[in-house]
Amino acid sequence: MNRITVIYVLILTIVTAAIFAVIHAGADLPAPAPINGPAGVVTPAAAAAHPAAAVAISQSAGEAMVANLKENFKHPLSQLFLQLVVIIAISRTVGKLFTFMGQPSVVGEMAAGILLGPSLFGLLTPDLFQFVFPANSLNTIKLLSQVGVCLFMFSVGMDLNISHVRNKAHTAVVVSHASIVFPYLLGVVLAYFLYTSMAAPGASFIAFALFMGISMSITAFPVLARILQERGMTKSFLGSTAITCAAVDDVTAWSILAFVVAIARSTSLGGSALNLLLIGAFMLVMVAIVRPGLPKWLGEKRLKAENPSKGVMATVICVVVASALCTEVIGIHALFGAFLAGAIMPDLHGFRHKLHVRIENFSSVLLLPLFFVFTGLRTQIALLHDLSGWGMCLIIIAVASLGKLGGTALTARLTGMGWRDSLQLGALMNTRGLMELIALNIGYDLGILSPRIFTMLVIMALATTALTGPLLTWFGAQKSPEPEGQPHPAQS
């Protein structure tokens, strides 16, 4: 050991001495000529090209080190890493806190996004807020959050169980479509009174009305499924009916939103018709060609494998990205293509579940919190600075709940369900969550929703989602007028 130690010390000593000797000899070499300037003079152009060197010339070693650290913190990659640490830590913490309060963790993550925005973080510590979320970094957050939303929508598409829909189509289609048309009508009526004061400048009434209708109609299928799973209701009559209705609702609502976006982005009637034609052609190709072709392209052996290979994952990601690209180019949103790609994935040998585990964990932990924060950065609760603003926000929440919860419960009762189950189904369908935020951001990006109405609708999404659990418990505790043990008419 002593011999090895001596060799080690000698190597380090000789190499270190050689390095210092070369550095000492290099100190006498003539300095390189500055850019466009006399010898020995640092020009502004040279300082701009080498800011760290310019700082080192005018400052001591300690000051130069501090200045260098500050400069490195301003690098886009350093800013992104800092934002990721803050966003993920706060999102998980607030999500856990809401879970202890009996709420789904996604509600806490949505709330964390608002807390990290100008409504709280920017209000309490504006300088620190600007340091963590400088304006020039928002585009990066936006792009990464959109990738996260597309992966999330791909997972939502894979969650759809078409056989479930077929088995209960007679009830599910009627109830789910009623849960769309009633709130949609109320949203359009509300838009009539809000258009002049709440729409974004330059937005047409038809685009504003259609988006207000959509914002009232959406159900958050993933959040609904999570609530049912946590309460052990997934296999019950109410749970299976709610899952089926939410699946039909999702497909219908997102199809309507795709058409609304196509109309809103077009500048003429002919352009709208062309967009709709392209959407129909794309859906036909995905359903008639890609869907039956995927099992053959991937191969039976690969579908059976317990862990999808890198080649399989690459193929799946290519399908998702290509599908998202097509819908983005057509003139709707990339997330529609990702959603459709998930819906056509083969379900042989539990293949969807294998993909879901790998993709959802990555997107939900790393990328989706970015989307919540990006939404929170756009949400300015300070805009509701008077009683009229908060009063209008409460009216929007009431109208949204009346249309969705009331329309669902009334229609379910007419199909033969008892009042208790009908009201519980209405409470579940009133869950909006992340799906609502996605739709609202589309309307904001298209210049249809103003920051003020955007903030009100975000609060509505949070409130209706947070009320789902308490309402479900309260309605379930009410005495049912039906005799105990009597089967539901809808089950016969």
Give me the residue label for tokens 């003079």: 41
Query: What pLDDT does residue 304 have?
Result: 81
Please provide residue 199's backbone torsions phi and psi, each rounded to the nearest 5 degrees. -70, 155
C-alpha angle 478-412-178 in degrees, rounded to nearest 5: 130
pLDDT class for 455, splitting at 50, 70, 90?
A: very high
Query: What pLDDT does residue 20 have?
Result: 87
Output the domain CATH number for residue 178. Answer: 1.20.1530.20
Which sign does the torsion angle of CA 368, 142, 444, 332 carry? negative
What's the number of domains the chain is made of? 1
Query: What pLDDT does residue 492 have?
Result: 34
Structural domain contains residue 13: no
Structural domain contains residue 16: no
Range picked from 184-193, 250-259, 473-482 for highest mean pLDDT: 184-193
For the range 82-85, what are the long-range contacts, defined as Cβ-Cβ under 8 Å and sequence gap of 24 or more?
82/132, 83/132, 83/133, 83/137, 83/141, 83/370, 83/373, 84/366, 84/370
Structural domain contains residue 58: no
Closest to 53 measured CA to CA, from 28, 34, 74: 34
Structural domain contains residue 483: no
What confidence tens digit (pLDDT) does each residue in 366-387 have? 788 888 899 999 898 988 888 8
Query: What pLDDT does residue 486 have?
Result: 43
Range of the domain at 175: 86-478
Q: Average per-residue pLDDT in the chain?
A: 81
The whole model's pTM is what?
A: 0.75
Query: What pLDDT does residue 397 have?
Result: 94
What confidence tens digit (pLDDT) does each residue in 261-281 have? 877 776 666 666 777 788 888
Comparison of pLDDT for 157 and 16, the residue scoring more: 16
Q: Which distant-in-sequence residues (6+ apart) come within 8 Å of 426 by Cβ?
A: 179, 404, 405, 406, 407, 408, 409, 412
Structural domain contains residue 424: yes
Structural domain contains residue 327: yes
Q: Averaged over 143-148, what is the pLDDT?
A: 87
SS3 420: helix
DSSP labels, 101-164: TTS-HHHHHHHHHHHTSTTTHHHH-HHHHHHHS-GGGHHHHHHHHHHHHHHHHHHHHHH--HHH
pLDDT class for 489, splitting at 50, 70, 90?
A: very low
Structural domain contains residue 49: no
Comparison of pLDDT for 320 and 246, the residue scoring more: 320
Q: Averaged over 175-180, what is the pLDDT?
A: 85
What confidence tens digit (pLDDT) does each residue in 381-435 have? 988 888 888 999 999 999 999 999 999 999 988 888 888 888 999 999 998 877 8
CA atoms of 131 and 119, how far apart (whole Å): 16
Q: Is the pLDDT of residue 487 over 70?
A: no
Q: Is the pLDDT of residue 460 over 50?
A: yes
Helices 310-330 and 269-285 sit at what angle, rounded to 10 degrees?
Answer: 160
Q: Averaged over 181-187, what is the pLDDT?
A: 92
Closest to 113 measured CA to CA, from 136, 85, 90: 90
Structural domain contains residue 67: no
